[in-house]
Structure 1
Amino acid sequence: GCHGKTTGRGGFRLSLFGFHPADDHYSITRAARGRLVFPAAPSRSLLLLKPTMSVPHGGGRRLEAGDADYDRLLRWIAESMPAAAPQAAELEGIELFPSERMLKRNSTQQMVVTAVYSDGTRRDMTRLAELESTSPSHATIDRSGLVQIADRTGETALIARLQGHVATARMTIPLDAADVPPVKLPIAGFIDRHVEQKLKTLRIPPSPVCTDSQFLRRAHLLIAGRLPEPAEARDFLSSTEPDRRTRLVRQLVRSPGFADYFAQKWAGILRNKRRDQAGRVRGTIAFHRWIRNAFAENMPYDEFARRILTATGDAAVNPPAQWYAEVRYLDRYVDDTAQVFLGLRIGCARCHHHPYENYSQEDYYGLAAFFTRVGRKGGNGARERRANEVIFVSPTGQVTHPLTGAVVEPHGLGGEEQQIPAWQDPREALADWLTADDNPYFARAMVNRVWGHFFGRGLVDPRDDMRTTNPPSNGPLLDALARDFVNSGYDIRQLVETICTSTAWQLSPEPNPWNLDDTTACSRFQPQRLSAEVLLDAIDSVTGVKTPWENLPLGTRAIALPDEDYSNRLLKLYGRPERESACECERVEQPSLTQALFMMHDEFLETRIGSDSGRAAQLAGDTRDEQERIRELFLAALCREPEPAELKQAMAYLHSGQPPHAAWCDLVWVLINMQEFQHVR
């Protein structure tokens, strides 16, 4: 609220969400000479007059005279505002009951928040807890804890918060339509068993398996970031081998395109950014090459994380040190480490107890303590200070708690404090804790991130916001994926193969009468827009004209660019991130009018389509049958043959009197502007 801000408001300051009761008691009863309370006439206290609007209050009406909260405050003031006794039982946690419930549409459910104290007592605190629903379109909850279920199938999580503690519950609303067919998903592995169980719970029948042409295009674009060549498409679509899809996935995860594509994604997450500084190009190119090699060689993910976190030296010699050259500051070390490798956004805990998690400032500065000995030297001048830096580990360094001033020893989230000798790099201890097989965050964060890439949304979404109050859409599946990832030795290639050979990933994007509204249970494939880099490469592929990049070989793909300093109008329009943040949300995925106008008549596109050396010119001069040439164009753009009506329209246009080159240019333009081309389906 207003008074929970760092500076408070109107001379009155409280801790955010009441995380520091002792400080709040002082602010209410002693600050400003106790002007807020009047024990001689409690009802005349500003603490009651303001929130009831008996006197003007910028925050509006917050209490009603005579209600339970008002009377509780009135009695407390009349009793001389006692503080909690030193021996009083402490709140150890809260419970939200029922924790799970299957409910019909348009029904209600009463929730109860129970506080659990250190002396074993339990108390109903429903009216004092803060309650909310993560999906108000499925269910809402009022202050009394009454849940109103909407007329919609799906799931929602309910969240309760009280004095720094959080609890969640899940409400499931199954489909109650008549004549719903049995839920049956062809089982290819453990992923499908968990998905089928979720669909059975919701009574949502899945769509059928996608066509071979849809799978071919989906696999190439999401695994290797590129379209297949027409010859590749013909070979796959003509194959009768029963394992052709599995073999294609295994081929693509071992292709250069996979390494290029995932290196591009991780270079953004790890902020590999030149910032228009020529002196930094050695470091950014070296770091990008190192990331790409890690994916090309299938470096275990735990080793990948360790080598980044413990990097020292010059980035040109030891490329992972580039991460420290860009991230630089202690708070960013903590924020980025948590978000990138743990899937947690804990920046709030830098200043106060995290409002949506059970993380305190002690936890935040315990992570910060692992980085306090990181030093840097070298560099000349403000612009060059990062170019020649050397990262080293100092024998000394500590961090203090901002409220108590006490030195905080290094410890992982929820872990024990560690005494680290001067000769040891504290970051090695951090890497040990972070990559331990029993770490509850590390493997789950990575498998959720990879799942989100292939399905368009994570099992926890946003993908890097895996807090307690943002529970997964399929918790057992997330746990199973994490266990399998750990047991594989953190094998990213195997993780991708497991996901992409599942039936769940191979479902059709076309909805059936029962799963149209489903976006989380994996009853069908959710179409995704092509990312900026993949779209540019796809346009290059279909037009047959390669985009040139300064100081790079002609034919270098956009997904293989080493840093953000290579400019292009399409990349900017379609939301390529500037790498200012570790959050994947920096990539803009929403469509815009400017994008539509660009695709309609921008010179960039027109020159590529109309190039004398492009695909349109080649097709215009080709002596093969026109229908065969049209089929090749459709294979190049959409990985499928034209429908009979499409073939008829294309033939008619080619014979409409247009010059052959111009007519073929128009056909290329039409395909590029199709939603089917600009999306993965």
Structure 2
Amino acid sequence: MKSYLVILIAGLSLPLTQLAELRGEVIPPINERFSQETEETPDFQRHLLPMFSKIGCNGRSCHGSFQGRGGFQLSLFGYDFKMDHDGLSERIDTDDPLESYALHKATNVEEHEGGERIKTGNWEYQVFLNWIEAGAKPVEKPYKLERLEVTPNEIVFQSAQDSQSLNVVAVWENGTREDVTPLCRFQSNDTSIAEVSENGEVTAQTAGDSHIVVFYDNGITAVPVIQPVSDRTGKNYPQVATPTRVDELVVQKLRKLGIVPSEKSRDEDFLRRVTLDITGTLPTPQQVQDFLADNSSDKRARKIDELLETPAYAAWWATRFNDITGNNINQLNNVSYNNNKVSEEWYEWVRHRFEQNMPYDKIVEGIVLAESQRSDETYEEYCKRMTEIYNDKSCESFADQESLPYFWARRNFQKPEDRSIGFAYTFLGIRIQCAQCHKHPFDQWTQEDFVQFQPIFSRTRYSPNGTDRDEYQAMLDKIDVDGKLRGNELRRELARKLGKGEVVPFPALVDQAPRVNRKKKNSKNSNTIGQTARVLGGEPFDLNEFQNPREPLMKWLRGDAQELFAKSFVNRVWANYFNRGIVEPTDDLSLANPPANEALLNHLAQGFIDHKFDIKWLHREICNSNTYQLSWQPNETNIQDDRNFSRAVPRRIHAEVAMDVIAQATSSSDENAVYLSDLKDRAIAIPGTAQGRGGNNYALTIFGKSSRDNNCDCDRSSEPTLLQTLYLNNDNEFLSEIDSRKGWLAELAKEWKAPFNAKTEQVPPKPKNYSEVVERFEAYLQKLKKQKDVEKIKTVKAKMKAYKARYGQAEENTEVVDAILDSNIDYTPAINTAYLRTLSRYPTQVELQRSLSAIESANNPVDGMRDIMWALLNTKEFIINH
């Protein structure tokens, strides 16, 4: 009773905020507390700066810009407390607060380019005035925001123009809870779905789903907004099969949206889709036939398992991981003695690990903690090992090495700031570039976070002189290298000696020792200069405590950042199968860009962690779901859905895959049969970033192969373009695949005993006297016929035929062609095979009859089949994965 009286008496004199804190209640919103005169002192961090953000003072177009405005600059979105306080202090008058210049500007008493931001006498005015009257105190020790609690945490509207107000409570580290709704900024991620007012009132627009994002202090929270697209919700929702947890979580959201998933895909569609997605390869005609003939209930799961064990799987997914990690031959110049070989070694190192199904975190560890020189070897021993590998005299290859130092050797990855940005992009799927200059507008990272993250990357360098300069020089002397050689001349000389098998000094990844504090060199205390660093969101530590300065990074990825680390990889793998990530773009896992299905992403990420980063587990978990195996054909409820995975979304196949499947579809039967296992000349196994004109580089470029120049998944494109259409219509490189004398068309010609004239073979221009030469041949033949010189007739005929063929005038044996056309050859099997090779299905009866007519009307059956193959390769059904 006594304690109750103490609280009651104290409550009579305490301000409202302190009374609420004392009772453990939520502090009422600031607009209520300051709607009339009050003695409460606003806090600079919790109240003033969020209010300035709300009314736009520290936005990009006002005082938050890099140049400031009117000689006055604030930090963008108000996260540099000292800078903002210092700037304001020059514009306020604590002796006469009502005459403060900043207050007059905000109320437009003094002419203000930004107009009136605060009305005299309203709650914002009172907050600003009270803060000045109380001495305009700065932030002595920043408060740490624990979280934002938004009510409701999900909005489900029933129709357009319905509205719902949001309420936001800030929960601080010390337990204080305050209603900060009036101080929050609100943003709709799709205003066509829902609009939000500056006060947090959300109004439904068209049917669909999006998010409303709430900003306050360093907190960012997204609230899902849903308006059903049909009346098939709740009890009206049909029974839908959900055999896996993935399906349960997808349908859970579809039920709210009134979206019914498409039917399950046909076997031929599934087989083509999953083979392209997992291996970047088409199923062979025989594989299609066998799969369609298999009536077992587990044949899809068995096929997934089978594909994950093929060399093509490891090759294709190594290529995708090389995109993310930046294996760019142009950035590996002078990293070793053969730039192409460096890129190949990088690729093979990754491919080898995907083939072994090494856990993802172990693969990343081999990159993050990479070392050139093993702990138990000297620099010279390291160089000897590398020399043997380069000359194929070692029992192990570069792929067998424990780590991949080339990741740190790229020319565009040498500055600490570039490494900070690149590391976050590669392994966390986040964009921290903005934090280089200011608080990230859509994520939690501040400029201070970025600055303290950089030192971790500052001591690692790729040294052309190896780990020991004296040993390097001794090795040069040992192999009699001219001491005057420098730069490219020296590299060429060393490459020449390396080719002869001599042990040459190799560049190496070096972690520089901590800097010495020379003032304490003779002191008993440590003589190293302390170097404070901090992983994103972590606590500061002394970097000098680590022999390898990158150790904290790997510890972090397996610790506090593990969830984000797993999500970034899971999201990218999911995007490969569905044409979009659960978070899209896939490299922007920021707080303001929430997942389309948070529960789904959480399930896959946690499962990935629980299964010890087993990459094949992840593929199986996705591909065995009904969600992945749905048809591409929409129904009335999901025809507009492109973000909730209610159907397969047809998508253009990737550049390397496009080149490979064109070659595969037109290849000989023997080559076609081994495409999943034989990687020779496969575009999906090209190590580097070959682009431009020449070979198939031009085709790879126009079909959107990743240039690996930037920290952006958008470097790879699957967008259709006019150049792609022109390539498939009439590019000589493409047409020559159909016409290859080692290809399937030539094989058919041999089987049918028909003439095969490649239409795309290069024909030199006819000489001016071409007709005269042919006439002389013919006259000479007439003369020989009269002489009945059989041997000479054969010789001259052959020469004349060769001469005509050289200039594109090869004569068909019309008697042979007529015989073939008059024969009883059944072209149906060849037509079926053409469809199976390209579209992975049998032709319909209409397509079959049309194809038979094309052959019958052609000059010869091979020409007819050529036209059919050209047409099939130019269909959307061929170039699109569906």
Residue from 722, 727, 733 that aligns with 1:593: 722
Q: Sort the Cα spacing of 1:429 and 1:38 in 2 relative to 1 into closer, same or farther, 3 A.
A: closer
**Distance of 1:383 and 1:253 partners within structure 2:** 46
Q: SS at the partner of 2:357? A: coil
C-alpha deviation, 1:520, in angstroms: 2.2
In the alignment, what sits opposite 2:881? 680
Residue from 507, 511, 516 that aligns with 1:389: 507
Q: SS at the partner of 2:688? A: coil
C-alpha deviation, 1:226, in angstroms: 0.7
In the alignment, what sits opposite 2:566? 443
Bigger drift between 645-654 and 80-89 goes to 80-89
In the alignment, what sits opposite 1:187? 242
What aligned pairs does 1:340-351 form with structure 2 within 5 A after superposition? 340-351=426-437
Report which structure shows greater RCO (CA 8 Å, sep ≥6). Answer: 1
Q: Sort the Cα spacing of 1:410 and 1:206 in 2 relative to 1 into closer, same or farther, 3 A.
A: same
In the alignment, what sits opposite 1:255? 310
1:311 is the counterpart of 2:370: yes
Equivalent pair of 1:273/1:564 in contact (CA under 8 Å): yes
**Distance of 2:489 and 2:641 partners within structure 1:** 50
Residue from 336, 340, 356 that aligns with 2:442: 356
In the alignment, what sits opposite 2:87? 27
In the alignment, what sits opposite 1:333? 419
In the alignment, what sits opposite 1:477? 600
Q: SS at the partner of 1:18? A: coil
Q: Sort the Cα spacing of 1:516 and 1:69 in 2 relative to 1 into closer, same or farther, 3 A.
A: farther
Q: Sort the Cα spacing of 1:600 and 1:84 in 2 relative to 1 into closer, same or farther, 3 A.
A: farther
Bigger drift between 226-235 and 113-122 goes to 113-122
In the alignment, what sits opposite 1:550? none
User: What amino acid is the match of 1:303?
Assistant: K
Equivalent pair of 1:362/1:408 in contact (CA under 8 Å): no
What aligned pairs does 1:452-463 form with structure 2 within 5 A after superposition? 452-463=575-586
**Distance of 1:43 and 1:249 partners within structure 2:** 67
Equivalent pair of 2:415/2:458 in contact (CA under 8 Å): no
1:291 is the counterpart of 2:322: no
**Distance of 2:733 and 2:549 partners within structure 1:** 51
C-alpha deviation, 1:264, in angstroms: 0.7
Q: Report the identity percentage.
A: 30
Equivalent pair of 1:111/1:146 in contact (CA under 8 Å): yes
1:142 is the counterpart of 2:197: yes
**Distance of 1:420 and 1:652 partners within structure 2:** 76
Query: TM-score of the superposition, structure 2-length normalised?
Result: 0.69
Residue from 157, 160, 164 that aligns with 1:103: 157
In the alignment, what sits opposite 2:64? 4
Say which structure is richer in helix: 2
Residue from 541, 563, 567 that aligns with 2:688: 563
Equivalent pair of 1:164/1:355 in contact (CA under 8 Å): no
User: What amino acid is the match of 1:580?
Assistant: D
Q: After superposition, give the CA deviation of every residue in 1:502-546 in whole Å (9 maximum; x if it has no partner).
A: 111101011111111222222111122101110111111122289
**Distance of 2:117 and 2:461 partners within structure 1:** 53
Equivalent pair of 2:575/2:586 in contact (CA under 8 Å): yes
Query: TM-score of the superposition, structure 1-length normalised?
Result: 0.88
**Distance of 2:87 and 2:513 partners within structure 1:** 42
In the alignment, what sits opposite 1:403? none
Q: Sort the Cα spacing of 1:184 and 1:524 in 2 relative to 1 into closer, same or farther, 3 A.
A: farther
Q: SS at the partner of 1:655? A: helix
Q: After superposition, give the CA deviation of every residue in 1:127-180 in whole Å (9 maximum; x if it has no partner).
A: 442211122222121212121212213x21111112332222112223443699
C-alpha deviation, 1:47, in angstroms: 4.9
In the alignment, what sits opposite 1:661? 862
C-alpha deviation, 1:645, in angstroms: 1.7
Q: SS at the partner of 1:167? A: strand
Structure 2: 5+ residue runs without aligned partners? Answer: 1-59, 374-385, 391-397, 466-485, 496-505, 517-528, 673-677, 753-824
In the alignment, what sits opposite 1:609? 738
C-alpha deviation, 1:329, in angstroms: 2.2
User: What amino acid is the match of 2:66?
Assistant: T
C-alpha deviation, 1:203, in angstroms: 2.8
Bigger drift between 338-347 and 412-421 goes to 412-421
User: What amino acid is the match of 2:239?
Assistant: K
In the alignment, what sits opposite 2:278? 223
Q: SS at the partner of 1:109? A: strand
**Distance of 1:636 and 1:464 partners within structure 2:** 35
User: What amino acid is the match of 2:843?
Assistant: P
User: What amino acid is the match of 1:668?
Assistant: M
In the alignment, what sits opposite 2:503? none
Q: After superposition, give the CA deviation of every residue in 1:38-67 in whole Å (9 maximum; x if it has no partner).
A: 9648699455549x9x56x4xx66748669
User: What amino acid is the match of 2:64?
Assistant: G
Q: SS at the partner of 1:640? A: coil
**Distance of 2:107 and 2:192 partners within structure 1:** 35
In the alignment, what sits opposite 2:226? 172
What aligned pairs does 1:151-170 form with structure 2 within 5 A after superposition? 151-153=206-208, 155-170=209-224
Structure 1: 5+ residue runs without aligned partners? Answer: 399-405, 548-552
In the alignment, what sits opposite 1:401? none
Equivalent pair of 1:279/1:384 in contact (CA under 8 Å): no
C-alpha deviation, 1:199, in angstroms: 2.2
Residue from 136, 147, 155 that aligns with 1:83: 136
C-alpha deviation, 1:100, in angstroms: 1.4
C-alpha deviation, 1:640, in angstroms: 0.4
User: What amino acid is the match of 1:604?
Assistant: E
User: What amino acid is the match of 2:688?
Assistant: D
What aligned pairs does 1:526-537 form with structure 2 within 5 A after superposition? 526-537=649-660
Q: SS at the partner of 2:638? A: coil
User: What amino acid is the match of 1:167?
Assistant: T
User: What amino acid is the match of 1:24?
Assistant: D
C-alpha deviation, 1:365, in angstroms: 3.9
C-alpha deviation, 1:85, in angstroms: 5.3
In the alignment, what sits opposite 2:853? 652
C-alpha deviation, 1:309, in angstroms: 0.3
1:206 is the counterpart of 2:265: no
C-alpha deviation, 1:90, in angstroms: 4.2
